[in-house]
A and B are shown apart, each in its own frame.
Chain A
Amino acid sequence: SHLLLTEPAPLAANQDDSTDDGSLRTLLTLCDLLNRELLVLIGWAKQIPGFSELSLVEQMSLLQSGWMEALLVGVAWRSQGRAGEELVFAGNLRLDEAQCRAAGLAGVYQEVRHLAARYRAMKMSPEEAVMLKAMALTNSDAELPDSPDSLQRLQDGLQEALQDYECSRGEPHRAGRLLMSLPLLRQSAARAAEAFRRLHRQHRVPIHKLLLEMLNAK
């Protein structure tokens, strides 16, 4: 319930109007949205119980490896609607397969739709969505130089909260089902990050400083 309370209000996209090229405009609008979402996510991470007790190095490391996963939980969550064929990045930024392909994000479309279908099939609750976001963010495989005790405590606390929640609903097995969706999330995030790096390097799509820093962090 603490995580639900601290869940930020959804952001709206600011339509880019710097170019006549439709798919570039979409991409620039998306990059601007992601950059702002990233900023909000960094603020939100500090609200995860135990996060602020980690060292600065640990906090940076978790965010650098988990930010795209955390953001994609939100995109997949919003994209579950009906049998929708769109990726809902924001209420006013919904991209179908053709638009994603034109923007160079065909692979991202496939994977995140897959993820959305999986969340939809298990009828993921808002509580589970925020838990998954927090867990994705704290489940880094990066090697951490500091003592791992506080991170372990943070992860244990989240797992316990998830177990408690599922047990209170009388469906304890859902905790495991939720965790089993994490590999697909990580794979989708890796593909998405790679797609944006490629668009930046090969196609010279301008990317905001914070977003670029995070894309190049690993």
Chain B
Amino acid sequence: QEKHKILHKLLQNGN
């Protein structure tokens, strides 16, 4: 998941 930081963040933060 470290490699997919931005997607991870976007999904987690509710955009």
Contact = CB atoms under 8 A, between A and B. Distances in A.
A210 B6 contact: yes
Interface in B1-15: 1, 3-8, 10-12, 14-15
Interface of A: 39, 42-43, 46, 56-57, 59-60, 63-64, 209-210, 213-214, 216-217
B12 A217 contact: no
A209 B8 contact: no
A60 B3 CA distance: 12
Q: Shortest 7 CB-CB distances between A and B: which pairs?
A: A43-B15, A210-B6, A42-B10, A213-B6, A59-B11, A60-B7, A213-B4
Nearest to B11: A59
Nearest to B7: A60
Contacts of B4: 60, 64, 213, 217
Contacts of A60: 1, 4, 7-8, 11
Contacts of B7: 42, 60, 63-64, 210, 213-214, 217
9 contacts: A42-B15, A59-B11, A60-B1, A63-B11, A64-B4, A210-B6, A213-B7, A214-B7, A217-B4
Nearest to A51: B11
